[in-house]
Structures are given as structure tokens and as C-alpha cells.
Chains A and B, each alone.
Chain A
Amino acid sequence: MGYTYRIIFAFGVAGLLIAAGIFLHDGRAITLAIPFLVYVAVLVTQPEPTADFTGLTVTRQLDVPRIPVTAATTVTLIVRNSGRPIAWLGIIDSIPADVHADPDAVTTWLGPLPTGETAEISYTVHAARGRHEFSNAQLEIWSRAGTGPIVETAAASAHLLVVPEWQRLKKIEIRPRRTRVYSGVIRADMGGTGIDFFGSRAYVRGDNIRRINWRAYARTGKLIITEYEQERIADVNVILDARAAANSEPELFERGVSAAASVADLFLSQGNRVGLLIYGDVLNWTYPSFGTGQRERILDALAAATLGDKPVFADLRYIPARLFPAQSQLVVISPLAGEKDIEVFGILRARGYHIILISPDPISHWRTELGGPDTPSVAAAVRIMRLKRRILTSALARIGVAVVDWNTDDSLLTTVNWALARRSGRVR
């Protein structure tokens, strides 16, 4: 309530008392109005604060503008007064939703601010995954006597990017049909230099004589060359299913985002060329590349990933397969939405892509969220849903998709190691 309103209200009460005194012919009521009138008189003689915000410069700094989910950063809001002295300046910083300040954090400031001085608010925040926009701070000015305040909103924007948490996975063995020419850790199904035995053949001019198998020569009298399987790098594209229809719970999607980050980190650390497609709200494509820079780009894209429920992306049929090199490796992170998804996997397999599906299990997640005992009806529901899911995953396995059915209560590292690291042979 501003001071003008207080004056009017107090004067109104005084007026009521005076009116009562006049109508009741009782001077005591008028006497009672005196404190209210004095209050009004004192207030009207107080100077109002001057609404001069032009001399104030508001800047915001983030100690680290890009942090993982588990980390925190310090936000500093600095207000500098290069104009007239301000008797009382109040600063109230606004924190975006999903950003949480420490419980003992002070996000306000109140005090006098002479010319040339600065006021500073500093506090530590942590936030959920995503891109968070710090926008405005509220400034309030009071006069020396405390009248006011005059309120102004000052722009003080800054962006905080919170990237998803990821796990360091161990080896995931992939064997795409086509690899790139550079050496790496992916078996290329081609003879040459390597570690694992690939085959032997007759010596031809130009072969390295150090690769001649002398024992075979002693037995047969012919020069035989031992070949090892070449190990190269490959194109790996990670597809994150961000459809709201598939991710029944936001938490399930968060697990998927973490899984995508973990998988991308693993393949990049092996030297592969990795890209990312987020399929749901929009087609968010991170062009494939190598190295730690690409890992950061993928983490940035995953940080901004949101669930979408656009009808055009209701099923996976609009995955732009032409973006992916032919016969390369795809890693799809999806809880699966239904039978229609199976058809899309079939089409991709028919085009020669090798596919690993990491599927966060919505049923176990739902069961954990539901809590409580396993009543007969709950048990029956879980059993029916599991049967439906088993049908889907079995169909995928039949068309050659390596399926990792991930109970999100378990570690991704453990699940992937168990499901894929020991996978031997080649899925064609």
C-alpha cells in the first residue's frame, strides 16, 4: 500500500470521526480524529522518493554458466549507482522456476546506496536439467524518511545451462557393416593389421614379410600370410525419443537423456564420429563429429531437450534416416510407444543400419512410482503390461535389433554391460 493511499485512508478515518462528531454534536469524536490528522500531516510533509532509476546499472554474473545437474553455481547480481544518492534501495532478485537457491541464501538487499557505490547479492543455486533464463530484478526506492517505495523492474539477464548427468560406460561392442578409414576399436570385418586373428592367405608380392606364418611355411612349403581383423572407427548416431506418448513420466525421460549422454560419451571416447537426433518436440539434429568438443555440443543439445506431443511425431516413421550414413550404427533410446515403432525399426534394419535399442522400462518405473504392496490387481496389471512389452522386444530381437531392456532402478552401466558387452557374434 503506497503512501498516498495511506494518507487517503487515514484521512478517511479522521473524516468519519469528524462527521460522527458533527452529526452527534459530540466534540470528543473530533478529538479522536487528531492522531489521524497528525499522521496525515506528518506524511504529507515527507518527501516522496524520486523515481530516478537511470543512474542504476544492473549486471548479473554466473560463476559457471554451464554445470552438470549435480553441481551448483554462484549467481552474483551487482547494482551500481552512478546517479544521485539513494536513501534506501531495495533489490529483490527473481529466480527462475526449477532453479533452487540454497536454504540460507539471501536473494535480496536493502540499504542506502550513495553515488559511485555498488550493492551486491551473491548466492548459490542448483537446478534441474535444462536451459534456465535469469531475467529481471526488482528495484525499490524509499525516501530518507522511509516513504515509498517506487518500484521498477530492471533487466539482468543471464543463462544457466544445466547438462544431464551421465555415467562412464565400459565397452559396448558394435559391429556396423561400414566403418571409416581411420583406426579405432570397432572390428571392421576386414583383414589387415590388428589384434584378433582374421584369416590366412597366400603371400603376394608387396606383403610385409614380418606377417609370414613361418610355421605354416614349414608344414606346407608355401608362403602364408596371417591376417588380423582391422579395427576402425565408425559412425554412431544416437536417437533420443522425446515423444510424450512414449515417455509416460518426465522422470523416465530424464533417465533416457542421461542414457543418451552416457552412450554418446562412450562412443566419442572410443574415437568414433557421433551425432545426436532428438525426436519429439522438434527434430533436433546435432551434426556428427569427433572428440570432446562434440561431447559438449551433444550435452548442450541434451540439456535443452524437452518432451513433445506433436501429432506429426506421434510415431517414429519420420526419423530422417538420410541423415545417417548408410549401414552405420544407430543407438536408439526409447521406452517404445507401441507396435508402430516396430515397423520403423524394421525399415531401418532393412536399409542396413545396425541398431541398439536402450529402452528405459516404463513398467518397472510405474510400479516404483505407484508404491504400496503387490495387490492381485496390481500384479495382474504389471503382468499384462510386461507381456505386451515382451512381445514388442521379442519382435525387435527377431529383426536383429539388440535390445537393452533397462529397469531404471538399476544402473545403466550394469544393465548395458550385462546385455551388450558380452554379446558375441555379429547381428546381421
Chain B
Amino acid sequence: MNWVATGAFSGGLGIIAVLGFVHGHPIMGGTAVLLGVVWNIVVWTNHGRERTLSGLIVVSAVVSYFALYMEVGVYFVLGAVTLIVIGWEAGLSAREIAPFSKPAQRAFMRSRIPMLTAIAVIGFGVGAVISAVRLHLNFGIALLLSALALVLLVAFLIAVRPGRNNQ
């Protein structure tokens, strides 16, 4: 699991770093490299892992936004963010199954591949389609209400998740 977490998260940040250096934004590239180093230290030393990993994904999202803001390639950045999300998920799961034997961890990881693949394909695909379509947005109260409706929808879905048992 650690290798998946490292590969995905580092890959995502590597893409942003390369984009930053190639397009003449060394600070952005350097920040991405630094984030990747910190991520790997946290993953492999198991130090303050959950909070730190979650903190790192927020910082990575901000850096990714700056990459988009600098117009260094929307599809690349979208792919990078998708990898970062998968790496974060794998990193958290790795901690949960860390007490178990390596073969058991590998078997468990294999069971997660469909879900992670779905996140990667759908996340990147939907993002790419929306970028390509270029929807016209009015940044007003309607968009804010739509976001609020989305929050309520997710809260509702969490509440009615299948198989939920409140015992």
C-alpha cells in the first residue's frame, strides 16, 4: 500500500513540479518537490501520518490551483490532482492495514484496485470533459446555492449509505 501511495502522490506532485520548471515557475516546481519529499517521509516513517497526510493534500490542492492559474496545462494538472487523491486514499488505507502481514496487505490492496481505478478514470474523465465543454458560469447567488445543494446531497448520501449499521 505504501508503494501505491508513494507512486500516486509523488507522481501527481512530480507532474506539477515538471510543469512548473518547464514553464518557468521554479517556485511552484520547488514547492511540489518539497511536498513530495515531505509526503514520502511521512508515509515511510509513519510519523503523524493521518493529520499530516490530510494537511498535505490541502496544500497540494492549493499548489495545483496555482498551476492552473499559471496556465501550465489543465489536463496535466487535472491528472496530477487525481493521482494525489488516489495517493492520499492509499496512504490512509496503508496505515489501517499496517499491522497485518505483507501478503495479506497485497491481497487487500488488490481488492481496492477497482475502486481506485474508478476514482482515477471518472475523476479525470469528468474533469476533462467539463474543461473541454467550457460551461458558462454566473458567479452569483445561484452558484452558491448550487454548491449548498451539493453539500446537502452528499450529507444525504452519507446518511443513507448502503449497509450502514448504527450499532
Task: Tell me the minimal C-beta distance from B145 to chain A in angstroms.
Answer: 11
B119 touches A42 (CB 8 A): yes
A35 touches B65 (CB 8 A): no
CB interface residues, B 75-130, toward A, < 8 Å: 77-78, 81-82, 85, 89, 92-93, 96-97, 99-101, 104-105, 107-108, 111-112, 114-115, 118-119, 122-124, 126-127, 130
B163 touches A44 (CB 8 A): no
Q: Is the interface of A mostly helix, strand, loop or mixed?
A: helix
A31 touches B108 (CB 8 A): no
Task: Tell me the minimal C-beta distance from B128 to chain A in angstroms.
Answer: 9
If A1-B92, A108-B99, A110-B101 touch, does A35 touch B143 (CB 8 Å cutoff)? no
Interface range for B? 35 or more
What A residues does B81 contact at CB under 8 A? 32, 35-36
- Is B46 an interface residue, CB under 8 A from the partner? no
CB interface residues, B 54-90, toward A, < 8 Å: 54, 57-58, 61, 64-65, 68-69, 74, 77-78, 81-82, 85, 89
Task: Tell me the minimal C-beta distance from A163 to chain B in angstroms.
Answer: 32
In the bound complex, CA of A21 to CA of B167 (Å): 40
Contact segment of A4-12, A190-198, A200-208, A283-291: A4-12
What A residues does B99 contact at CB under 8 A? 90, 92, 108
- Is B162 an interface residue, CB under 8 A from the partner? yes
A44 touches B151 (CB 8 A): no
A1 touches B50 (CB 8 A): yes
Task: Tell me the minimal C-beta distance from B129 to chain A in angstroms.
Answer: 9
What B residues does A421 contact at CB under 8 A? none
B61 touches A39 (CB 8 A): no
In the bound complex, CA of A4 to CA of B165 (Å): 13
What A residues does B119 contact at CB under 8 A? 35, 38-39, 42
Task: Tell me the minimal C-beta distance from A106 to chain B in angstroms.
Answer: 5
In the bound complex, CA of A87 to CA of B112 (Å): 12
Q: Size of chain A's interface in residues, with CB distance under 8 A?
A: 60
The one of A1, A11, A32, A50 in contact with B151, judged by C-beta atoms closer than 8 angstroms, is: A11
What A residues does B163 contact at CB under 8 A? 47-50, 143
In the complex, the chain B residue whose C-beta lies closest to that of A23 is B139
- Is A114 an interface residue, CB under 8 A from the partner? no
Interface mask (B32-64 → A, CB under 8 Å = 1, otherwise 0): 000000000000000000100010011001001
What A residues does B112 contact at CB under 8 A? 145-146
A6 touches B92 (CB 8 A): yes
CB interface residues, A 36-60, toward B, < 8 Å: 36-42, 44-52
Task: Tell me the minimal C-beta distance from A37 to chain B in angstroms.
Answer: 8
B161 touches A48 (CB 8 A): yes
Task: Tell me the minimal C-beta distance from B110 to chain A in angstroms.
Answer: 10
If A32-B78, A39-B85 touch, does A44 touch B61 (CB 8 Å cutoff)? no
A144 touches B111 (CB 8 A): yes
If A27-B137, A34-B130, A145-B112 touch, does A51 touch B165 (CB 8 Å cutoff)? yes
What B residues does A50 contact at CB under 8 A? 163, 165
Name the residue among A9, A17, A26, A35 with the largest chain B CB count within 10 angstroms: A35
Name the residue among A8, A30, A47 with the largest chain B CB count within 10 angstroms: A30
In the complex, the chain A residue whose C-beta lies closest to that of B60 is A13
What B residues does A49 contact at CB under 8 A? 163
The one of A8, A31, A35 in contact with B68, judged by C-beta atoms closer than 8 angstroms, is: A31
What A residues does B154 contact at CB under 8 A? 7, 11, 40, 44
If A31-B78, A51-B167, A143-B163 touch, does A111 touch B50 (CB 8 Å cutoff)? no
